[in-house]
């Protein structure tokens, strides 16, 4: 199947893929809440495997590669072979939520680029301890792009203490779960304005909890974006 035919085929399979990815999302969300985490993880893995198989049949390189890495992470989580479990779960959830929007963009623009998928592919590989794939879309050349110092510098002891005293350790997982739920709704174009407003409130909570730290600064940036959209 040629690339053009693959893009056209997306119109026929996109709805099915989105439903299957939603099943993967529900399964992954249930892992931390269910008494039977293995069954929930198996549900997620099975759904991602189906998505990978469908995309492989359509023969679109970017989505297929991304789905393949998602399946590898899901399988590693299923096998308990990943050290940073929480990071792997978060990265996999990001990929699950991003893939529908990526496919929608492919169908709309009828062309692909490494910058659309390599960053997420490399994030998925990183949580498994695999080497990054080099490519024009994988990363910026050294010295290019904005100053990311505020997003990478460690927080001060005072900020860390304030975080714990403010209940950050117990509140952060709740904020994360609600954020992912809202993001999933937005990607499905459900009550977009309402969910964006909620995300803005979550970012405000993060700014208060995390202060002058990478997370706090990123939340402040996100809040600015949300306010600009609304």
Q: Which domain CATH number covers 102?
A: 1.20.120.160
| Residue 37 belongs to domain spanning | 3-127
pLDDT of residue 29: 87
Across the chain, what does the average pLDDT equal? 83
Highest mean pLDDT pick, 49-53, 103-107, 169-173, 221-225: 49-53
- 111 and 175 in a single domain? The answer is no
Same domain, 121 and 225: no
Locate 199 and state its tokens.
Answer: 């995300």
- pTM over cut 0.75: no
Give the pLDDT band of residue 142 (cuts 50, 70, 90). Answer: very low
Please give the average per-residue pLDDT across 37-57, as a whole number. 93
Do 14 and 108 sit in the same domain of this protein?
A: yes
On whether both 86 and 163 belong to a single domain, the answer is no
User: Is the same domain home to 8 and 122?
Assistant: yes
> What confidence score (pLDDT) does residue 107 get?
76
C-alpha pair distances (Å), 75 with each of 51, 131, 134: 14, 18, 24
In which band, very low, low, confident or very high, does the pLDDT at 152 lie, cut at 50, 70 and 90? Answer: low
| Domain shared by 19 and 114, yes or no | yes
Whether residue 191 lies inside any domain: the answer is: yes
Q: Are residues 75 and 171 in the same domain?
A: no
CA dist list (Å): 36 to 39, 42, 48, 81, 89: 6, 10, 19, 18, 16
Question: 75 and 157 share a domain?
Answer: no
Distance from chain centroid for Cα 158: 30
pLDDT at residue 1 greater than cutoff 60: no
Shared domain check, 178 and 114: no
98 and 158 part of one domain: no
Q: Is 122 found in the same domain as 62? A: yes
pLDDT per residue over 89-102, tens digit each? 988 988 998 888 88
Check residue 34 and give its pLDDT.
Answer: 66
Average pLDDT of the residues in 33-47: 86
Of 2 and 192, which is predicted with more confidence?
192
Does the residue 135 lie in any domain?
A: no
Q: Which of 168, 225, 217, 160 is nearest to 199 (CA)?
A: 225
Task: Name the one residue in this structure whose structure tokens are 């809440």.
Answer: 33
Average pLDDT (5-22) is 81
Cβ neighbours around 101 below 10 Å, total: 13
8 Å CB contact between 71 and 95: no
Q: Domains in the chain: how many in total? A: 2
Structural domain includes residue 32: yes
User: Given this model, what pLDDT does residue 158 score?
Assistant: 82
pLDDT at 188: 81
Cβ-in-10-Å burial (0-12, 13-18, 19+) of 78 comes to: middle
What value does the mean pLDDT take over residues 129-142?
65
On the question of pLDDT at 35 being above 80, the answer is: no
Same domain, 114 and 154: no
Our CA dihedral for 217, 223, 229, 230, rounded to 10 degrees, sits at: -170
């Amino acid at each position: 199947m040629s690339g053009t035919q693959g893009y056209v085929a997306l119109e026929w399979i996109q709805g099915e893929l989105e439903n299957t990815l939603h099943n993967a999302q529900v399964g992954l969300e249930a892992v931390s809440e269910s008494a039977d985490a293995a069954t929930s993880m198996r549900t997620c893995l099975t759904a991602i495997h189906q998505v990978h198989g469908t995309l492989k049949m359509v023969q679109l390189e970017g989505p297929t590669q991304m789905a393949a890495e998602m399946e590898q992470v899901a399988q590693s989580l299923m096998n308990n072979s990943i050290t940073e479990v929480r990071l792997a779960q978060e990265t996999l959830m990001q990929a699950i939520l991003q893939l529908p929007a990526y496919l929608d963009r492919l169908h709309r623009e009828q062309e692909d680029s490494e910058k659309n998928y390599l960053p997420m592919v490399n994030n998925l590989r990183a949580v498994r301890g695999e080497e990054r794939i080099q490519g024009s879309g994988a990363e910026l050349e050294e010295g290019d792009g904005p100053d990311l110092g505020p997003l990478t510098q460690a927080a001060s002891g005072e900020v860390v203490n304030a975080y714990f005293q403010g209940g950050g350790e117990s509140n952060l997982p709740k904020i994360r779960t609600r954020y992912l739920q809202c993001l999933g709704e937005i990607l499905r174009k459900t009550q977009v304005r309402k969910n964006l407003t909620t995300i803005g409130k979550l970012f405000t909570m993060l700014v208060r909890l995390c202060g002058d730290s990478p997370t706090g600064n990123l939340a402040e940036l996100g809040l600015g974006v949300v306010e600009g959209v609304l």
